[in-house]
Amino acid sequence: MTEAIRVLLVDDQELIRVGFRMVLEAENDIVVVGEAGDGRAAITQSAALAPDLVLMDIRMPELDGIAATETIVRHRPQTKVLVLTTFDLDEYAFGAIRAGASGFLLKDAQRHEMISAVRAVHRGDAALSPRITRMLLEHVTPQLGSSRSIPEAEESAALESLTERERDVFLAIGRGLTNAEIARTLYVGESTVKTHVGRILAKLSARDRIHAVILAHRLGLVGD
């Protein structure tokens, strides 16, 4: 049996945390290891508890979710952050994506949507609906384009360094496919896809899967 996904809940409203805890802990593969009511406490709890995933509210007192996300991802890149927002096109949510979050979820999401998002982010997929991808690109691409992790020439060389199979997987990532969907499309095992994704991110110096999606669009490899 695989280990349960360790989740840290961060929201300044206790009733919301209680509700989320009830939903998450009803699942056999998820355990809530702690809670925090503001960004500073979230950073402290993340360092102490080493959660697999942080369910992060955006607007909180003391320190907001964007700043907390940036600090957590910088110090614990293995911890994924799934941000919570009231509106799916909220500029704060896009700010959290720029800070390193792996996706965002509406606070009024259905129970199954929350569970699916937590599992998706944990296994390395991005929790973003297709209709949000276009808005994400419009909001985030300029910032990533102006602060490339590597120079444009090196970026192109890195793309050339991908094997044919890695390029296939990269294009599938750019189209928004999950690891399971890529596995079915390319007729390979999901564990093989996960290995390819890791190598692709390393070769392209991409921070995460969302960064890889943006990179694919920026390089003109994926159409609208």
Element housing 57 (H / E): strand 53-57
Domain annotation for the chain: domains and CATH numbers: 5-127 (3.40.50.2300), 136-218 (1.10.10.10)
Per-residue pLDDT of the chain (224 residues; tens, 9 = 90+): 578 999 999 999 999 999 999 999 999 999 999 999 999 999 999 999 999 999 999 888 889 899 999 999 999 988 999 988 776 556 776 777 778 888 888 888 888 888 988 998 888 777 665 555 556 666 555 554 444 455 566 667 778 889 999 999 999 988 878 888 899 999 999 899 989 998 998 888 887 787 788 788 777 777 65
Q: In angstroms, rounded to a whole number, what is the distance separating the alpha carbons of residues 202 and 62?
A: 35
Other residues' Cβ atoms within 10 Å of the Cβ of residue 153: 8
CB 44 within 8 A of CB 63: no
This model's pTM is above 0.85 = no
- What's the count of helices (H) and strands (E) in the chain, helices before strands? 11, 5
According to DSSP, residue 4 is labeled P
Please give the C-alpha separations between residue 105 and each of 9, 29, 84, 94, 128, in angstroms, as whole numbers: 13, 19, 5, 12, 8
